[in-house]
Structure 1
Amino acid sequence: MSLSRLRSIRHAFPTVAVLGGLVGWVPAAVRAQQGTVAGRVTDEASGQPLSGARVTVVGTSLIVQTNAEGRYRLSPVPGGAVTVRASAVGFGAASHVLTVTSGETAVVDLALALSPYSLDEVVVTSTGDQAKKEVGNTIVRIEAPSVVEKGNIQTLTDLIGAHAPGVDVLTGTQTGSPSRVRIRGTNSLSLNNEPVYVVDGIRIISQNRSSSVCDVGCAPPSRVNDLAPDEIESIDVVKGPSASALYGTDAANGVIVITTKRGIPGRTRWTVYAEQGVITDNNTYPDAYRGWRSATDTTTAHNSRPTNGTQCILTQTVRAATDPQYCVQDSVTKYNLFDDPLASPNGTGHRQQYGLQVSGGSEAVRYFFSGEWEDEVGQLKMPPFAVDTLLHVRQISSVSDEQLHPNALRRTSVRANVQATLNPRVDVQASTNFISSTLRVPPTDNNTTGLLSNALGGPGNKDNGHYGYRLFTPDSMFAEEIGQDVNRFIGSGTANWRPTSWLAFRAVGGVDYTSRLDTDLCRRNQCVNFTATFADTAGFKQDNRTSFFQYTFDFHGTASFTLNPRLTSRTTVGVQYFKNNNNLNVAIANDLAPTATTLTAGGVAQVAESTTVSKTLGAFVEQQFGYKERLFVSAGLRADGNSAFGSDFKAVYYPKLSVSYVISDEPFFPKWRWINSVRLRGAVGASGVQPGATDAIRFFLPTTASVAGRDNNAIIFSALGNTGLKPERAREYEFGGDATLLDQRVNIELTYYNKRTKNALIARTLPPGAGGPVTRFENIGAVVNRGVEALGDLRLVDKPGFGWDLSVNAAYNTNFIADMGGVPPIIGATTRQQVGYPINGWWQRPYTFNDANHDGLITANEITVADSAVFVGYANPRWEVT
């Protein structure tokens, strides 16, 4: 990042030091007029104490949690009339107005009524924890423990899926496979569309296809699924730019804010859990078909039938009658190898998981420790006929487990979270997580030896020498062993300092470090030749080692005031710094020695390395006013500089504005018994996605040029770069409302959003030149996403021994490319990018057919194919109901 860009951010806002300087400004007389508030928070129905309840003094920075006995103590509380509020998960808030006398302790006991849907629920925002009713945009909170207890949750993305309207989670189908997450549609044609993930205040590495050896052709893992769901306390889904503006560049796709479990004061709590299960594939796969010509004269080249190994496919039937390949179909065979126990690659997998958690502590120190071990073997297997083939060809007595069961995952996770209250004004917390995993995946997808292409593209019978597979059989496919070993550490520290009742500072810092080893091994004489560059039967080994560092530093200060009995103010100013550093070393060896599995045993070696660094420095300010605890207006601004921006582009600014209005608290609102609360909300904001780390940079390659008839060393462009490259910028409007009805048994949320992304990056084709690149990324596109979201929660039965809840999520999204800057449609095999149509829309040439001679066979001359492709559908579902 250049100094000019750093300076532009430095002078964008007053620094947090301004707030620090105000500490000494407060007159001594004011500081002396302070007292203490203490008391107890209980369950209104049972009278039992509520541990971990959140108690605040409205209009100040004072926040504490109750201990195991439900007791709390707030100090120093400003003298005069104040409002004390208590809230807890699953309960409605309770408030009490009292007068604080200087030097004295006021006792306030609060009883909370059970209320599963409350606007006083606390959610995590970019400037800290806030009550839901204070936030003008929708934020969905997922209480992870209750979801894990009730459902079959194996990964983090399982927790998110079907629990937040407008969030599309496409889960993988194999052990360890990735999950794709889209929030309110797809925003970019060229950049990452995944949300940002924040864990305990720091950004984490969240690559969706995390592998350097099988990004195409197999299903590499997603790094977010390294996290253990049983260690998570809550997930807040921040959906779009109207809510994520202050999270800065890269937050336009939404933010997933994760809070891990913490200790609660009181006795030590032990939790032991275990899981055992089987994995099966219950899909129905299509049959493979093949056409034939049957005749008594099998010596004629034009005649064919399964017994003589010659097939009659559609393309042959339209050839000239004199063509040796011409034939006439009169029969069709079909075969489904997935239904054949001797040929099917599907078997029964096994999963086991064991965990131990311990938590507790005192009012001064609280702790949560967790350990989990997971082992899963997928359902893919080498079928019996392939095993027999290997035993015979290799002259061995058994096949290795890596090839018999090519898909498996083993993972260990250890977590330690500690919180300490050093004094009433200072508390600190540390969160650490170490993860170690080993994964193996088979080639299954867009790959020459891919399982699906060979299993589904067979000849419609098993007499082709491959037992019904197209070209390669599982004994050849699974001979290629693709693996990944990961060691990962996520550590963060948080410090809170409240020098006065109205001022609070918060500092968060941490690192996510991942060491990843990707391997691809074909032993000598075990793999088949599937490339033209070298003899694969001679064996090869690829060993790629990558180190990922994601650093986070966040510091902000918040000043809270009660301006008068009706009006409160909350001002937050802060700075953030992110750095991402990736180092990759690649080593490949071909022509392995017999039985060898190491790089040094290869005859031909190749090496490569790369380093990618990305930095972001941002500053933000937010001002919120609250009127009579029912109307909240917030405005904010963030400025970012990023090392990926072009040298001619200095900084980007992201504004936001939101309004939240609990209209049911107004005297004029109808006081019908079946309506408990109604809130109206609206927000507008902007955020962005940064270009690739090297997209703006110009690169060169060495070459040879002829000058005066002699060869000379020279260079050519390998990438032109773009000095004016900017982040993609998304602007979003959001409007909606919430209502709780029927004694808080029903909760309804409705939202409409309109999001437009401009400066979208598109690879523009350049005029012909003397070699070098043919495209360059430019900010010339625009993309639109519009939609509605609905959430309904119903408590159907609420008895002491039995409860029954029903949740319904529904969402509609329409996505289209609004502008491509004059670039013609980008056409792929089945998808294309075209103005007026969705990103990655599906296009096909439609066809019709008619069995004209009524013989039950469709021949080529009975099929009509359109001249051009037409749009047939969206890549992502437009409607979702769960």
Structure 2
Amino acid sequence: MKRRSLTRGVTLRRAAVGATTGLILSVAPSALLHAAEPTCVARLASDDRSALWAPPLDRIVNVRLTDLPLRDALDRVAAIAKVELSYSNDLLPGDRRVCLALDRVPVGAVIESLLSGSTLRPIVLGSTQIVLAPTRERTVAVEHAVEHAVVPRRASVLDRVVVTGSPDGAPQRGSPFALDVVDGATLAQHGASTLGEALDLAVPGIWTWTASAGSVSARYGSIRGASSFGVTAPKIYLDGIEVANPLLVTQLDPSRVARVEVIRGPQGAALYGADAISGVVNILTRHDGTATGAPQLQLSTSAGVSATAYAPRNAFVQDHAISFRTGTPSRSMGVGLNVGTIGAYVPGASEQRLLADVDGRVARDKSVFTGTARLSLQRANASNGLFDPLGGPFGGAGANSTVGGGMALDMGQRHTSVAPPLAVGNNPPLDSMTHATGDSASGQRLMQYTVGGSASYMPDLHWTHSFIAGVDGFRLQGLSVSAVPSTMNGPQSSAIGGGESTGDRGTLRWRSVGRFDVAPQTLLTMTFAGEQSVTRELTTSTEAPLAQPLESNASLLGIARTPSGMISDLSWYGSTGLSAQGMVGWRDRLFASAGVRAERTTGATRNTQNALLPMLGLAYVEDLGGTVLKFRGAFGRGIRPARSLMRTSSWMGTGQLQAMTSLQPESQQGTEFGGDLLFGSRYGVHVTRFDQRASGLIQPVAQVQTTVGANGRMQRTMVYSLQNVGAITNRGWEVEGSARLQRLSLAGTLSLVDSRVARLARGYRGELREGDRMFDVPANTISLSASYLVGRFTLATSATRAADWVGYDRARIGSELNGTGAGGQSFEGGMLRNYWTQYEPLTRWRANVTYRLRGDLSIVTGGDNLLNVQRGAPDNATVTAGRTLTFGLRTIF
């Protein structure tokens, strides 16, 4: 049939690398298209395959498009490839219609063809999300590319848009510091249900200890070494909303998580301010729709048993989740609910948890609105004893029994329960050390919530404005005073649940980002930001009357004491931050970054504290065909106020909360240098060298004090004073690697850390000496993960290992105190060095097998802690769940 072209037609053109035939596109009048379909044929060379594209742009598709508007064509391609496209309609050519036929080509090649001649290019946002972002130059047309031998640079993993590393969400390509992105699909594949498991699996330099019985908190052993005593933790955000206490954020539903972005080290403090002393973690929940826009319901259920050597029977475990999602990328809504229980793998210590959340997103032509709400409930019943110091499980301890190596000093027929020396070091503040009579115990109860939203507005191609507002808080009951540096006397020595902590933090953040072409092939990005946070905290504890000297000191410190013995401390404090940053990118290769944040903290100390947090960075990226080579380096500084929700909800000593208000903030600064080598989307190697120095670290130092009790008898008690240690150096190497070989995916991380005392502060009276290693910081950690797809089976396994760390010999401490009644003098000051020990390596191994029965119905079997290690994480007094085997189903309606 004779064909003619119309002026309203558009010719789509594209250059193919090594193409044997050109891309033939034709446009016909709509009247003739109804009579006969035009011939749209394209053949791409075999080397133009998925290896040249970053996931999910590497998905192979077959496309047949006949005289469709460009917008409809993009939506059709997204549905075929099962990806989500986000773009502004204003940036699309309004009158373009396309005709395209391609067989077995990457979806990235199809999208690039459709966008030919426009200012848009695909940028990977997540595991299934792609943003069509404006560029400074139009896509190179076929004739121009062939004539000048120019091939457009393919999108690599470094082009994905990240939120944590850049305030407005920008390509990772120019980031000068190490940034890890873990997508929710990877977490679900390997069965990671806690934030600690996710970080151990995929992020080098961060190590978390497995939660013990009776604990609802995270346990960070190392984040590039030690940056604090008892409160080492990154600053954590949920969809950009800062959480009140990062130690309490443990639950994670992989099916509800889009990705987790992590900055290691203080370089992120210039963006995120106080408490980002050791790193930043941003958990981004899903805001996508469904492939067709129709409602989708996903169900999963599993149950099994957890082996244990410390209870008469194995513990029953179960986990059930349901989620509902509907909508498109421009308008979506989702709801999720997750419940689970873990039986008593030590007598009386069971755990229950519930996690519920809801999200929504509405995208307009120039604006995007998102909303998030989360509720987390956890209960961890405490045991009457984790283990007998001599090696066996407790059969039934009395009221003065200790758990987890806690100490009860017998002094003249009075029992004084005190914080064990092990709480002095870099151990988690919310440990499993509690007291109970019999097997019943109230344990710890935790409620967390997050509610907030964000709005982004892009008036033109130069500026983007965003606002984030939200509130995060927690209610923690049953904080055992024996787990923190405090003194407790008399009959209250057997009490548990004597402490409660409440915290709420409201955050309001504003950011404006401008992009300007200041010279040929030179792009300047300017970021201006402001943040205001207000924190309210209330900490209470029930204690017997103290000896007269301490009572008078408590009144001087302003601690409220009621006639019933209830001690409470209510405080408000706030933080204000203003920041400005600039990045210059030259020829999309050389990137220079500089910025500073002015931080003002009020209420945390008696005097207002001001700080400047600088950041400098440089990155160079070279594209060599399908290979990307990147060199980067950065410097940064971060602070953590002495008074913070993390610390005060952990160190509940009488007088300690107010004593913190006289201390200066802890700080850490340092540099990192590294390189990234990517071979297409199949292989990647990342190496980082870091050198950081932490100063002003605050340690509770134990001292023995003799007082006169209420009955007139002499009494020795262990008291704690907050002292500055001096300076700590954290140096080491981090290595990451990944490979994709058809159906096999491999990944691994390695971290080598040397964390030591560099200098002691004047007047320090603790046990640390210059050159000593910091407590509970593994010298080396490693993780390996693999997944393999064969037929209907998906096999996934991962292993993490920590080795060579120094900690307290808790078993020996508990044995001496409970068995021989050793005097408190032996645990004072330098005498504590006698109870240090070096622990053996610890390996955690898990595996999952998924079999797809039909459609979206799958059988899932899993195994956790397959080596059945229950002790030694991080000490010989903490007991964790043993080998756990589960069986379940998962389906989508």
Q: Into which bin does the TM-score normalised by the smaller protein fall?
A: 0.5 to 0.7
Matching residue of 1:164? 203
Matching residue of 2:389? 453
Q: Does 1:558 align with 2:513?
A: yes
Matching residue of 2:792? none
**Distance (Å, rounded) in 2 between the aligned partners of 1:879 and 1:520:** 29
**Distance (Å, rounded) in 1 between the aligned partners of 2:223 and 2:770:** 19
Q: Match of 1:577, SS?
A: strand
**Distance (Å, rounded) in 2 between the aligned partners of 1:754 and 1:56:** 43
**Distance (Å, rounded) in 2 between the aligned partners of 1:615 and 1:871:** 40
CA contact (8 A) 2:436 2:496 kept: no
Q: Which amino acid aligns with 1:533?
A: G
Q: Which amino acid aligns with 2:577?
A: G
The one of 48, 59, 71 aligned to 2:80? 48
The one of 523, 544, 566 aligned to 1:607? 566
The one of 671, 683, 687 aligned to 1:733? 671
CA contact (8 A) 1:55 1:84 kept: no
Matching residue of 2:262? 237
The one of 295, 313, 330 aligned to 1:347? 313
Q: CA deviation at 1:729?
A: 2.1
Alignment of 1:317-356 (within 5 A): 345-356=311-322
Matching residue of 1:371? 337
Matching residue of 2:689? 752
Q: Does 1:793 align with 2:738?
A: yes
CA contact (8 A) 1:351 1:375 kept: yes
Q: CA deviation at 1:416?
A: 0.9
Alignment of 1:142-153 (within 5 A): 142-148=182-188, 150-153=189-192
Matching residue of 1:140? 180
CA contact (8 A) 1:189 1:839 kept: no
Matching residue of 2:235? 196
Matching residue of 1:597? none
Q: Which amino acid aligns with 2:671?
A: Y
Q: Which amino acid aligns with 2:752?
A: Y
The one of 367, 374, 379 aligned to 1:426? 367
**Distance (Å, rounded) in 1 between the aligned partners of 2:755 and 2:90:** 42
The one of 514, 525, 529 aligned to 2:474? 514
Q: Does 1:620 align with 2:579?
A: yes
**Distance (Å, rounded) in 2 between the aligned partners of 1:475 and 1:516:** 17
CA pair 355-718 structure 1, distance change in 2 beyond 3 A: closer
Matching residue of 1:402? none
**Distance (Å, rounded) in 2 between the aligned partners of 1:43 and 1:141:** 28
Alignment of 1:95-110 (within 5 A): none
Matching residue of 2:615? 656
Matching residue of 1:294? none
**Distance (Å, rounded) in 1 between the aligned partners of 2:354 and 2:394:** 40
Q: Match of 1:534, SS?
A: helix
CA pair 820-269 structure 1, distance change in 2 beyond 3 A: same
Q: CA deviation at 1:141?
A: 0.8
CA contact (8 A) 1:615 1:643 kept: yes
Matching residue of 2:58? none
Matching residue of 2:385? 444
Cα RMSD after superposing both structures: 5.0
CA contact (8 A) 2:162 2:172 kept: yes
Q: Match of 1:161, SS?
A: helix
CA pair 368-784 structure 1, distance change in 2 beyond 3 A: same
Matching residue of 1:701? none
**Distance (Å, rounded) in 2 between the aligned partners of 1:167 and 1:870:** 29
CA pair 758-542 structure 1, distance change in 2 beyond 3 A: closer
Matching residue of 2:167? 127
Alignment of 1:292-303 (within 5 A): none
Q: Does 1:255 align with 2:292?
A: no
**Distance (Å, rounded) in 2 between the aligned partners of 1:55 and 1:694:** 40
CA offset digits 1:372-407 (Å, max 9, x no partner)? 2222213234xxxxxxxxxxxxxxxxxxxxxxxx12
CA contact (8 A) 2:635 2:671 kept: yes
Q: Match of 1:629, SS?
A: coil
Q: Which amino acid aligns with 1:354?
A: H
Q: Match of 1:159, SS?
A: helix
Matching residue of 1:225? 250
**Distance (Å, rounded) in 2 between the aligned partners of 1:588 and 1:724:** 24
Q: Larger deviation: 818-827 or 626-635?
A: 818-827
* TM-score, normalised with respect to structure 2: 0.60
CA contact (8 A) 1:427 1:496 kept: yes
Matching residue of 1:274? 301
CA offset digits 1:6-51 (Å, max 9, x no partner)? xxxxxxxxxxxxxxxxxxxxxxxxxxxxxx996855899x993453
Q: Does 1:642 align with 2:589?
A: no
CA pair 164-584 structure 1, distance change in 2 beyond 3 A: same
CA contact (8 A) 2:245 2:645 kept: no
The one of 756, 773, 782 aligned to 1:816? 756
**Distance (Å, rounded) in 2 between the aligned partners of 1:635 and 1:86:** 24
Which blocks of at least 5 consecutive residues in structure 2 are unaligned? 1-68, 93-106, 112-116, 140-150, 396-404, 409-433, 482-487, 546-562, 649-653, 709-717, 777-805, 810-830, 847-893
**Distance (Å, rounded) in 2 between the aligned partners of 1:369 and 1:718:** 42
CA pair 816-879 structure 1, distance change in 2 beyond 3 A: farther
CA pair 691-881 structure 1, distance change in 2 beyond 3 A: farther
Matching residue of 2:213? 174
CA pair 458-615 structure 1, distance change in 2 beyond 3 A: closer
Q: Larger deviation: 481-490 or 812-821?
A: 481-490
Q: CA deviation at 1:86?
A: 3.5
CA pair 352-755 structure 1, distance change in 2 beyond 3 A: same
CA contact (8 A) 1:428 1:496 kept: yes
CA pair 567-781 structure 1, distance change in 2 beyond 3 A: same
Matching residue of 1:702? none
Q: CA deviation at 1:881?
A: 12
CA pair 58-753 structure 1, distance change in 2 beyond 3 A: farther
**Distance (Å, rounded) in 1 between the aligned partners of 2:254 and 2:90:** 34
**Distance (Å, rounded) in 2 between the aligned partners of 1:738 and 1:100:** 28
Calculate percent identity across the aligned residue pairs: 15
CA offset digits 1:105-139 (Å, max 9, x no partner)? xxxxxx99999955445352251312111101111
Alignment of 1:540-559 (within 5 A): 545-559=500-514
Q: CA deviation at 1:470?
A: 15
CA contact (8 A) 2:216 2:379 kept: no
Q: CA deviation at 1:614?
A: 3.0
CA offset digits 1:752-775 (Å, max 9, x no partner)? 010012344467999x9x99x999
Q: CA deviation at 1:457?
A: 9.2
Q: Match of 2:333, SS?
A: strand
CA pair 59-791 structure 1, distance change in 2 beyond 3 A: farther
CA pair 822-765 structure 1, distance change in 2 beyond 3 A: farther
Matching residue of 1:684? 635
Q: CA deviation at 1:776?
A: 7.0
CA offset digits 1:329-386 (Å, max 9, x no partner)? xxxxxxxxx6xxxxx63521111121111112145521111122222213234xxxxx
CA contact (8 A) 2:123 2:155 kept: no
**Distance (Å, rounded) in 2 between the aligned partners of 1:545 and 1:430:** 30
Matching residue of 2:747? 807
Q: Which amino acid aligns with 2:183?
A: E
**Distance (Å, rounded) in 1 between the aligned partners of 2:647 and 2:217:** 29
Equivalenced residue count is 620
Q: Which amino acid aligns with 1:676?
A: T
Q: CA deviation at 1:609?
A: 2.1
**Distance (Å, rounded) in 2 between the aligned partners of 1:475 and 1:168:** 28
CA pair 629-871 structure 1, distance change in 2 beyond 3 A: farther
The one of 527, 538, 562 aligned to 1:572? 527
- Greater radius of gyration (CA): 1
**Distance (Å, rounded) in 1 between the aligned partners of 2:288 and 2:808:** 56
CA contact (8 A) 1:556 1:572 kept: yes
